Amino acid sequence: MVRRIDTGGGAPVEFTFDGRPVTAQPGDSIAAALTAAGIRDLRDSVVSGAPRGVFCMMGSCFDCLVEVDGVPNRQACMVAAEAGLVVRRQTGSVEVPV
Return residues touching another protein (CB under 8 A).
Answer: 46-47, 62, 65, 73, 92-98
- 97: which DSSP letter? -
Query: CA-to-CA distance for 89 and 64, rounded, in angstroms?
Result: 10
Closest approach of another protein to the CB of residue 64, in Å: 13
Closest approach of another protein to the CB of residue 72, in Å: 8
Closest approach of another protein to the CB of residue 53, in Å: 16
Side-chain half-sphere exposure of 14, counting CA atoms within 13 A: 4
Query: CA-to-CA distance for 98 and 92, rounded, in angstroms?
Result: 18
Specify the residue, 73 or 89, whose C-beta has the smaller distance to another protein.
73
